[in-house]
Amino acid sequence: MYHVVASDLDGTLLSPDHRLTPYTKETLRLLTARGVHFVFATGRHHVDVSQMRDNLEIEAYMITSNGARVHNTAGELIFSHNLDEDIARELYALKYDDAEILTNVYRNDEWFLNRHRPEEERYFRESVFTYQVYEPGVLPTDGISKVFFICDDAEKLVPLEEAILARWGDRVNVSFSFPTCLEVMAGGVSKGHALEEVSKLLGYSLASSIAFGDGMNDKEMLIMAGKGYIMRNAHQRLKDLLPEMEVIGSNAEDAVPRKLRELFLG
């Protein structure tokens, strides 16, 4: 029997237009009312996710910034692992002037971009979260949960991934949440290791957890959980890496809440 459910958001629990469908909301409320522990496990910022959780009116732990932050059901920060300041400083400037690559920084409770791009706010259908524009030499380098790069041409991010790994190695965890989004956290940070900590706090082993995901940033969580489920719309690199893992439907079909009802509410 599973007692802990962890789910990614974009591409997994959220619909393609980045919303929680009424079916999903009802499922999560029924699930938590049964005593199952639900955990948001996402690359999103904790300010954004806390609004989603509050709107749902459920108790849930939050793993955010791909595991760099963990908040308990009361909204209290219980785990934090920041990028080293020298790495953050270089990442700020790495692609700052590249017209095709958008640099994003999550620092404490704030979100920064290297230039104005209003369409980025289209991802916030369940919350209100806005960015500020930064300058590399001005933005402080402490409190950085992650820096991530977005490019409509996914091929341009692959050499960037290789360069970052060659530069810093194990001091960073680099992963694609989407083919067009490359994320950089501190070494050792992952949703899987964060889920392990949350499970312990809840009094369970990882074997008692299940996890849902669609991106390379879900890899550790899917492997470490007692049971992992990959979305049909998942990044092909993830499917290739975990060929034996069960693939369910897509996020356009409410596949996660359907599976949860089958497992817990049938």
Positions marked active-site: 8
**Cα(90)–Cα(254) distance, rounded to whole angstroms?**
40
**Cα(197)–Cα(224) distance, rounded to whole angstroms?**
12
**HSE, side-chain direction, 13 A CA sphere, residue 188:** 6
SS3 64: strand
Which residue type is seen at 222? Answer: L
Alpha carbon 135 to chain centroid, angstroms: 25
Identify any residues that bridge with 103 across adjacent strands, giving them in sequence order.
149
Are 105 and 94 in contact, with CB atoms under 8 Å apart?
no
Identify any residues that bridge with 172 across adjacent strands, giving them in sequence order.
186
Give, rounded to a whole angstrom, the gap between the first and last alpha carbons of the chain.
14
SS3 238: helix
**Cα(178)–Cα(104) distance, rounded to whole angstroms?**
15
